[in-house]
């Protein structure tokens, strides 16, 4: 993607040491305008990624082996900030990291109709962690 990507970050559970994680690497690529798909779609497809999610402000590509997800978002967007903040907070907070790991392990034991159902089951805890992360960001001056 060359200079189109203003930043490339490892996000998600595999980006946090000692956090239970599925064997899927999540990469976040920030671009000037996520809605301008022609600027990044062809290079990602040529590299072997398949477009799987198209939603306002976010696209998600994955490998055929389902082991890498590439999330494309707008540089400076709320999407970009939220994911980087939660990652950094979980790296810092052993209590939230453990609570999240415990929840993920419990949820893994259940059968889920889709990954969206699994993600929804995590949302209450993520909301609480995000609030603590926002307070930390405000008190420390954190920014992506």
pLDDT of 120-139, one tens digit each?
889 999 999 999 999 999 99
Q: Which residues contact 144 (CB under 8 A, 6 or more apart)?
A: 7, 80, 81, 84, 85
Tokens of 27: 């990469």
Dihedrals phi, psi of 6, to nearest 5 degrees: -80, -25
pLDDT band at 3 (very low <50, low <70, confident <90, very high): confident
Mean pLDDT over 79-91 rounds to 97
pLDDT band at 1 (very low <50, low <70, confident <90, very high): confident
Q: Which domain holds residue 24?
A: 2-140
What is the average pLDDT score of the chain? 94
- The count of domains in the chain is 1
CATH number, domain of 85, equals 3.30.460.10
CB 73 within 8 A of CB 35: no
The closest of 144, 90, 117 to 108, measured between CA atoms, is 117
pLDDT tens digits along 112-125: 777 778 888 899 99
pLDDT tens digits along 53-65: 999 999 999 999 9
């Amino acid at each position: 993607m060359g200079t189109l990507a203003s930043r490339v970050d490892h996000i998600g559970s595999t980006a946090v040491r000692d956090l239970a994680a599925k064997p899927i690497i999540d990469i976040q690529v920030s671009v000037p305008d996520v809605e301008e798909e022609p600027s990044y779609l062809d290079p990602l497809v040529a590299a072997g990624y398949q477009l799987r999610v198209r939603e306002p402000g976010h696209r998600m590509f994955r490998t055929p082996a389902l082991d890498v997800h590439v999330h494309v978002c707008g540089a400076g967007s709320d999407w970009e900030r939220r994911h980087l903040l939660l990652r950094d907070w979980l790296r810092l907070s052993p209590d939230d990291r453990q609570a999240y790991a415990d929840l993920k392990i419990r949820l893994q034991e259940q059968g889920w109709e889709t990954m969206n159902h699994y993600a929804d089951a995590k949302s209450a805890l993520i909301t609480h962690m995000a609030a603590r992360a926002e307070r930390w960001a405000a008190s420390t001056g954190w920014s992506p």
